[in-house]
Every structure is written in structure tokens, then in C-alpha cells.
Amino acid sequence: MAYELPIPTQGTHTRPFWEGTKAGKLMLPRCEDCNRTHWYPRYICPHCQSMNLGWMEASGEGFIHTYAVQHLVFGKWAKEAPYVTAYIDLKEGDRMLTVLRGVDPLSPEDIKIGAPVRVEFEVASEDTHIPFWRVVEV
């Protein structure tokens, strides 16, 4: 089935992230001066304002920080509703907004804050694989 949702635009500062997703890896920007990672990719470290940035492979694991069920949605995402968006606390210390897969948006009481999650990638185009997160059974 063809991917029909919006595909993010790639820029030079996000290229390592998208190359990583194609390889099934979650790549995070990391400041070479303060050694902290950050999400989302940008040209300057939000922690120390250094421009000396590199990339590291993340574990692809984290925990649900919070979530919301999206019922009223417009555009290409409308046919997906209802679905769950979530902030994921990555093991590396950052927080990432995502769509949470493998949960029932009509039974939000079953979604647990702190539940472990793992990243997975969906092929959107030849050059773009989109990261989503799924609850891991413990």
C-alpha cells in the first residue's frame, strides 16, 4: 500500500537523520562541546549555543511521557483519525513527538504513561522512511 501521508522536507542539516532512518537507525544530533543530544535537528546546540554538532545513533528505545488522542484532524491525516500522538522520552534524554502505533485510540485507558516503546520505520518514499513508535510488551 502506498504511503499517502505528508512527507517531511529534507534539508542539509537533517540529512544524517534521514539517512539513518533509511538504514533502520534513529540518529540524534549531538553537541561536540557539551556532549548533549537534542531533538529536533538544528544548526545550533540549544543547551550551550555551540555550532560544533555531530550525530550519534540512538538506542531507538524510550518511554511514553504523555499522549493525546486525535479525533478532529484535517488534510491527509483526516482518514487516520482517531489516532494517538505522544511525546516519547528517549533513553538518551531527549523528548520526541510522534504518532504512537499499536494502541487503540478508542481505549486510551489502556495506554500507560511510562510504558516502554521502540522506534519503527515506515517507507514513505525511496528517500524517506518515517519513524513511528510502538509500545513494547514487557
Extents of the domains making up the chain? 12-135
How long a stretch of residues is the chain?
A: 138
Query: Closest Cα partner for 27 from 13, 6, 8?
Result: 13
Distance CA 96, CA 60 (A): 11
Burial per residue of 64-95, b for 16 or more beta-carbon CB atoms within 10 angstroms, e otherwise = beebebbeeeeeeeeeeeebbebbbbbebebe
Residue 124, all three cell numbers: 514513505
> Which residues does the chain have with pLDDT short of 70?
1, 138
pLDDT of residue 137: 80
Q: Would you say 97 and 133 are in contact if contact means Cβ atoms under 8 Å apart?
A: no
Q: Quick one: CATH architecture of 12-135?
A: Beta Barrel (2.40)
Side-chain half-sphere CA neighbours of 78 within 13 A: 3
Q: Given CA atoms 81, 3, 127, 7 in this order, what sign does their dihedral have? A: negative
Residue 117, all three cell numbers: 516503546
pLDDT of residue 138: 66
pLDDT of residue 97: 96
